[in-house]
Structure 1
Amino acid sequence: MVMVIAVFGATGTLGNSVARALLQDSYNFQVRAVTRDPNKPEAIALADKGAVVIKADMNDRESLVPALKGAHGCFVATNLPLSDPMCQQLEYQQGECVADVCMAMKVSHVVLNAQNHVSKVIGVKARHYDAKACINDYMNERELPLTSIILPFAYENFLGDFKPKLLQQHDYSISIPMGDLSLNMLSIKQVGEAVRYIFSNRTSTVGKTFSLVGDKLTVREIASVLTNHLRPNVVRDAKVTLPEFHRQNSSKAGNDDVTNMFDFLHRVTQRFSMETTRKLIPDLMTFDQWVAQNRETILKLILNNSS
């Protein structure tokens, strides 16, 4: 029987990965791509591949009913900009809305992009983590048939806020305040494969949490991998401390949250399993493989950054 899966955030990087992975198995899945804007190029591309695009807003419970009515499963990804002072409360409310409608529509399997509590564990806020952790708690309290996934630092961050920065010609640095600790990482674009496995194996995955990881490297090792693929450019570890990182990013929205996230990664043992992840994502990419695949994009970014 074909399972109807509602994918929230289908036009974002994470939700799009999930929708595309499910669309590759049209024998078992029918995708409802849920978005606030059905005219987005990403939504149109999903429709072209066979998805049913449904307009809905996670802030509006009534709009969620047609998206979830008759759905076997639901993938939930919430995300709000840290520039919004109310982002944690609003993100939590979105998760609460989806949970309540899933309950009312008797959705039989919910997969949530969850996270760990930061404020409860180390006493400082990382609102993007804390909101997702509280949504996870709420869904468990409602006794939804839930599978949670916890994602680490994304490889794709090296195409954005953490791209190599120019020091001088052919000389770049990356500033990640991890010291000599390894950083758990994963390509967001591979998460869909894990979610497809989870929906395909409901009996063995409901009630479980999967902490996914593709590689574990120190910042020095990350810089070395980047250098190997970007020569003659050399990438170095800036060896930035947490206070220095916080000071350097003082003008950026969410600076406290991101710094506190790294503080959490320093102080709390992370339980990310590559062995488990490979069971869900057989073609799991290492960071080296990802950089090789994205070499031209990274080069273009850093050269534009240099001009």
Structure 2
Amino acid sequence: MTDRTVLVTGATGQQGGATARALLAAGWRVRALVRDPGAPAAGRLAEAGAELVPGDMGDRDSLAEAARGAHGVFSVQPAAGPPHGVEEEVRLGVNVADAAHAAGVRHLVYASVGGADRDSGISHWNTKWEIEQHIRALGLPATILRPVMFMENHARPHYGVTGDAALVRVIPPRATVQLIAVTDIGAFAALAFADPDRYVGRALELAGDELSRADLVAAISRATGRPVDVEPIPAERRAALGLGAGDMEAVDSFGGWRADIPALRALHPGLMDFETWLEREGKAQFDALFARA
């Protein structure tokens, strides 16, 4: 067993990348599972100090090799959706859990989704609940992180405020939404690995802020100096865009996300609210988004 070494899956993605950076900053050795070591995102990880390990979550042999001797594993999969179906997300999550179990790792941290433990009726949330159940069935020492809506999603080309599938246009007008910065997901993963006595066996719903749609839109407009379109997207257009037409209505109807933000901030005092994220990271992302529009 190699103490202080964590295998990070999805290392070139949002959550995996944030976790790799947080672990490196905390003095951990990071093995970054990457399909293409020559990709720019992989190169940035290597420059930051990560060891690049070629592999794929769909390849059980490469996972077994990558996990061998690691202290911990951070597991995150691409969300179900084109080109990956729900079965594929579950298969990949099961593969990672099985590899961690076979390698005898001391701690698995799995990135699920807020509300996975409730009957949401949302297929790409149910997949994560299936993976959670498999982890428990294996008896792995594990921490489950259940992040809510990413703050960064509002600055992405497809789902961001300038996109045809803008999330602010499908949030019900009177609903409130909880939000989390991806950087803070990585911070909680690093906290969990550093303090297994506190975090093993726990499931944490993660959020840094809770805002009405109006407050969310106003904050973005203040930061960017630009108006934000909140005209509802017709149901038939949502389906064509692959939005999963009723997802936000489902969130609203089953009670929304339920992260205990004050308790989370006690664990991680640097937890960002939306305004802080805009100042530190978000404004630059929105400026780039508007520049492409």
Q: TM-score, normalised by structure 1?
A: 0.86
What's the CA shift for 1:215? Answer: 0.8
What's the CA shift for 1:198? Answer: 0.6
- Is 2:275 the partner of 1:288? yes
Q: CA 1:180 to 1:139, structure 2 compared with 1: closer, same or farther past 3 Å?
A: same
What's the CA shift for 1:41? Answer: 1.4
1:118, 1:108 → 2: CA distance? 24
SS at match of 1:112: strand
**2:70 corresponds to:** 71
| Structure 2 counterpart of 1:111, from 109, 112, 133 | 109
What's the CA shift for 1:154? Answer: 0.8
Q: Which amino acid aligns with 1:249?
A: R
**1:15 corresponds to:** 16
| Structure 2 counterpart of 1:271, from 240, 247, 258 | 258
Q: CA 1:288 to 1:47, structure 2 compared with 1: closer, same or farther past 3 Å?
A: same
Deviates more, 1:268-277 or 1:68-77: 268-277
1:193, 1:120 → 2: CA distance? 25
2:3, 2:142 → 1: CA distance? 20
1:302, 1:49 → 2: CA distance? 29
**1:262 corresponds to:** 248
- Is 2:26 the partner of 1:25? yes
C-alpha root-mean-square deviation of aligned residues, in Å?
2.5
Q: CA 1:83 to 1:90, structure 2 compared with 1: closer, same or farther past 3 Å?
A: same
1:136, 1:107 → 2: CA distance? 17
| Cα pair 1:152 1:186 within 8 Å, conserved | yes
Q: CA 1:106 to 1:118, structure 2 compared with 1: closer, same or farther past 3 Å?
A: closer
**2:227 corresponds to:** 234
Deviation by residue 1:198-233 (Cα, 9 ceiling, x = unmatched): 1111011111001110110011111111222222x2
What's the CA shift for 1:179? Answer: 2.5
Q: CA 1:173 to 1:118, structure 2 compared with 1: closer, same or farther past 3 Å?
A: closer
Q: Which amino acid aligns with 1:197?
A: L
| Structure 2 counterpart of 1:297, from 275, 285, 293 | 285
Q: CA 1:226 to 1:141, structure 2 compared with 1: closer, same or farther past 3 Å?
A: same
- Is 2:241 the partner of 1:249? no
Q: Which amino acid aligns with 2:289?
A: L
| Cα pair 1:118 1:261 within 8 Å, conserved | no
| Cα pair 2:11 2:33 within 8 Å, conserved | yes
Gaps of 5+ in 1: 167-171
Matches within 5 A, 1:1-307: 2-26=3-27, 29-80=28-79, 82-84=81-83, 87-115=85-113, 121-122=119-120, 124=121, 126-160=122-156, 161-165=158-162, 174-231=168-225, 233-235=226-228, 237-238=230-231, 240=232, 244=233, 246-253=235-242, 255-256=243-244, 259-269=245-255, 270-293=257-280, 294-305=282-293
If you compute each CA radius of gyration, which structure gives the higher value, 1 or 2?
1
Q: CA 1:80 to 1:223, structure 2 compared with 1: closer, same or farther past 3 Å?
A: closer
SS at match of 1:288: helix
